[in-house]
Amino acid sequence: MMIETQPLEPLDRAALPARVAALAKEGWRLVQICCSCRDAYEVTYSFDREGRFLNLRIGFSKEDPALPSITESYFGAFAYENEMQDLFGLRLDGLKLNFHGNFYRLAKKNPFLDPPAAGSPGASPAASPSAPSAEGAPRAAPDPRPT
């Protein structure tokens, strides 16, 4: 049975961009970004270099759902970050290709955030101009073009 060694490095939100920039410089490949949310947010960034696996983990409160984007170092992170924005109601600061909550066409706002955090984009449908009119009901198609 093969069990891979998977080091996990806890990190502060503010230190993320610099740490990720250093990994990019060292030639690490971004493998994935995984967000989970129970009592608080937990975001794990995974990297690989020649088969070595490394994870950075950031934990923060549901009351402050914001993260710095890493698209400056890894442009490919835009897909993961837009996904977190849509499914978990996170706000990504400095995201280079931002779909503003329209990366996925969802029947429910922030469906993976249950219940929605106070102050998050998913807390109130009225907070977003592209929010669904009612769950399950047809809605006007938002302009998916990012900025």
Partner 1 sequence: MSRRTIIPFGPQHPVLPEPIHLDLVMEDEKVVEAIPSIGFIHRGLEKMAEKKDFQEMAYIAERICGICSFIHSMGYCQAIEAVLRLEIPRRAEFLRVIWGEMSRIHSHLLWLGLTADAFGFESLFMHTWRLREKLLDLIEETSGGRVIFGVCKVGGVRRDVDAEALDRLLAALADLEADCREIAAVFARDASVQRRLSGIGVLPKEEALRLGAVGPTLRGSGVPSDSRRLGYAAYDALDWAPVTEEAGDCRARCLVRMREIAQSFDLIRQAVAKIPEGPVSAKVVGAPRGEYFARLEQPRGEVVYYVKGNGTKHLERFRVRTPTFANLPPLLKILQGCELPDVPIIVLTIDPCISCAER
- Residue 37 CB, shortest distance to partner 1, in Å, is 9
Residue from the set 17, 55, 91, 125 that interacts with partner 1 by CB under 8 A = 55
For residue 80, give every residue at least 6 positions away whose Cβ sits within 8 Å of its Cβ, in sequence order, or none.
32, 33
Q: In angstroms, give the least distance from the CB of 66 to partner 1.
A: 21
Which listed residue (18, 22, 40, 53) binds partner 1 by CB under 8 A?
53
* Residue 126 CB partners (closer than 8 Å, separation 6+): none
Please identify which residue in 3, 126, 137, 140 interacts with partner 1, judged by CB under 8 A: 3
Yes or no: say if 110 and 135 are a contact pair by the CB < 8 Å rule: no
| Of the candidates 89, 18, 30, 90, the residue with the CA atom closest to the CA atom of residue 54 | 30
The dihedral region occupied by 70, where left means phi > 0, alpha psi between -120 and 50, and beta the remainder, is alpha
With binding defined as CB under 8 A, does residue 27 bind partner 1?
yes
Residues 117-146 that bind partner 1 (CB under 8 A): 144-146
How many Å apart are CA 13 and CA 118, to the nearest integer? Answer: 20
Give CA 123 to chain center in angstroms.
17
Show the binding pattern over residues 102-121: x = contacts partner 1 (CB under 8 A), - = does not: xxxxx----xx---------
Query: Interface residues with partner 1 (CB under 8 A)?
Result: 1-4, 6, 24, 27, 29-32, 34, 36, 38, 44, 46, 48, 51, 53, 55, 74-79, 86, 97, 99, 102-106, 111-112, 144-146
